[in-house]
Structure 1
Amino acid sequence: MPPKSKRSLQLKVARRHRHKRAKTQECSSTMNESISEDVTEEHIIDTTLELSSIANPDDMSENETTEVIPVSTEGVVPVTGNHGATTEEIIPTFSDYDSQDDEEYTSPGETATEDELIHGHAKDWISSLDRDDVMSLSLVLHHLIVNILGLQLTFAAKVIGDLIGKSDRTVREWRGTFLCNDGSFPGSLQGKYQRTGVLEQNEELNKHARKYVRENANVKGRPNMTTASFCQWVNNELLPNSVLEPGFPRKISVDTARRWLHHLDFQVLDRKKSVYIDGHEREDVVAYRKKFIRKMVSIGFINEDNAPTAEASQCLPEDLRCPSEEQLQKTIVLFHDESIFSANEDQGTQWGEKDNFAIKPKSKGSGIMVSDFIDEFNGYLCLSDSEYSLAKQTYGDNITKEARQFLEYGENREGYWTSDKFLTQMDHAVKIADIKYPKDQGYRVVWVFDNSSCHNAYAEDALNANNMNAKPGGKQPHLRDTVWNGRPQRMVFNIGIPKGLIQVLTERGKYHKSMKLEDMRKEISTHPDFMNEMTKLEHFLRDRGHICIMLPKFHCELNPIERCWGQAKRYTRSFTNYTLPRLRINIPNGLDSVTLENIKNYFRKVRQYMFAYLEGFTAGPDLEKTVKAYKKVYKSHRKIGVNS
């Protein structure tokens, strides 16, 4: 016999459904003719109350009797919920119910009938039940209405839904669920489903997506990354070039891309000052950061005694882990930085009427640059009155009481900050340090600077490849003589003309005819004499017996004076009147608002970052979480023996 076609099977099933539906409607119409059409929600409540009195005979007085109507129980399935409650336990009883004032169910000027009061109490009682009990009660009422009163299923569901505050569709779904689960209700899964995203399942996708956002979110000369551009990159490059398990999506929508970005801890932010991430983790910067932290360990700035945790102390280099007590006590580390305070800078927020904001100045206005030094033990670098008297006897008028210097920058004011002006300030600062921390008492002073152009300025005759031309002569400086492979080498011909890169590399045997100017500069920059050339600042401090250390590039979090600037600017912005004379008054007051205790806390914060880098963390959320965890360890007075 040939197999039946799919269309014939569909027609056969449709005929069966029509026959069944016609038979059901015929039976329902027959039953409805013998039943009063006035059956409403109140009739259901009356039936529920009668069942309540039967289920709780103890609540009736001795003189009360109840006529029990015999009801056939043939085919009735006992109802149980997840909590094991039987029908008798969930039938409403009002003897133990906290009665409320009848006025609650009536409007002003109206008198509530007995049926209205009972109706209101029944709804309140049902609202106090939990989900499983309400489902069981709805099934009991459904059985009473359909099998005893003979109403249609849909009408019964609507009446019950109005009573319990649910839709008729929900009541029908409960009944179907009960019949499909062998006479029980399954537990609710609300709040129990753990959504697992695609990025959580695949660490490689997570890693590549995070790297892409960090490198492309904001690139100079290109539009900022958007959710749509990120989505396009995922669909065109990330997913096609990744090994994905079955079930992984091959394309995502813009909404999904937005959820991915939130999952990666990225969000849309306003521009504000923060750590410069783009160059923060460059290979050369990370390599120098390791050298810098090793230097700070060697001078005793970070050690086992000031480690935030025992695990962090184990990351210290073994050969530098235990400096001497004298070395710890006699080493003074001075951090330096410059900052600009502007007259038109304010708090940035204000109270005002909606859509009626005060107009702010378009520019920052006139400004004052401040250059200063701090150490952990005395705060800002300055002399006391007695120390200043001693310094006057030694240096005369060539020394100031404090190392701080102000500059009202601008062409029509005091000009701009240059390396020569900075070295003039350094001359006063070194004299102050020699008076305050004398070498004959065992002190050694270490100066720490960032990588600004003033600090990295070279002398005119310094070995700097960027100042050299390819050919002899021209507008290039006369560089000083040097030593190459143990033999002296002059950088200028006997007639006084600079040799240039071609001649110098030829004498060193490193020149090739195919080399261009950039290639020659890159080659000679790798030679030891050019690599180890010191800046004017380093020469200045070495000649005076002091130590100079440069911070890693883009690492402002390792300079404690940066936080002093932030605290001082909070003061100046709170008391500004947008004029330069007021700014001259506010800046010293703002700097003085930074106490010695604040400075010590800022030094502690810098050490926390250094230890976090020693533990292998890089810039990002993990680094900040680690530093915050260090802070909790410091603040807790109950953690005894953490550093032991």
Structure 2
Amino acid sequence: MPKLARQKSHARQLNYRRSIESIKSNDTETFSSEDEKILFHPGGDIDDINFSNGSVLNDISDILTFCKEQINPRFISVLLYMSLRHLGHTWRDVDSFLTSIGGTTIKTCHKWTNILVNKDFDEFTIDERVRSVESCRLDLRRFSVKFTANSSRPYFLGHEREDVVKHRQEFVKYFIEREQHFYTITNDAVPQWRIPTTVPTILLCHDESTYKCGEITAKRWIMPDNAPFYNKGRGRSIMCSDVLVMHTSGPFFSLTEKEYSEALKTYPN
């Protein structure tokens, strides 16, 4: 067998000696700067890293923040907590470290460590994350939703979309094709009922009006090409609701001569 290079041979001896010593003793052991150069910088093409520098905590915190967006942050914090405690660090040091990088509190880490070690792995892996308000806002913006003024919009906004036009045509066609089945009213000066000539179908028309106090927010989230109902207020409201029956047994709306004359004065056209 060919002889090993001097650096590789020295590194192997160091690893062997450390493995034997780690079995005999539980004391924490650190690498010397010379050993680190041999193990991590064999070619001399990697810069030295001062892990005791405070700026390294910022880098660790950035990595943790990135990982939080990918998986439950509890998993990462518990992994760090268990690893550091396994290496012999006190809970005070671990607590200080987790706090400095924005990790989960040490009490929470210990609680979930107990579940992982002494109870059920499936219970530990249950993801109970609740999305923050800020994250939900970012999601809304990804869907082109805008936080804009909560003002009254034209009722016809979005009515010319392709899917809306198609549905409206199908809706109107359905009633036109079945016109002979409905009770309708003539458009004369004195309206009269039209009786269906085939098997009758009675239409029920529901209508309602809601009167609110007017306590509204200045802005709201609005989807593009959509016309949401105008938010009239969050306080108490009064709703008037009724059902009109298109049948001779029910009255239809009409004005008396006096009411009609007064209406013409207000709306001459």
- Give the shorter-chain TM-score range: 0.3 to 0.5
Relative to the length of structure 2, the TM-score reads: 0.33
Q: Which structure's CA Rg is the greater one? A: 1
Higher strand residue share: 2
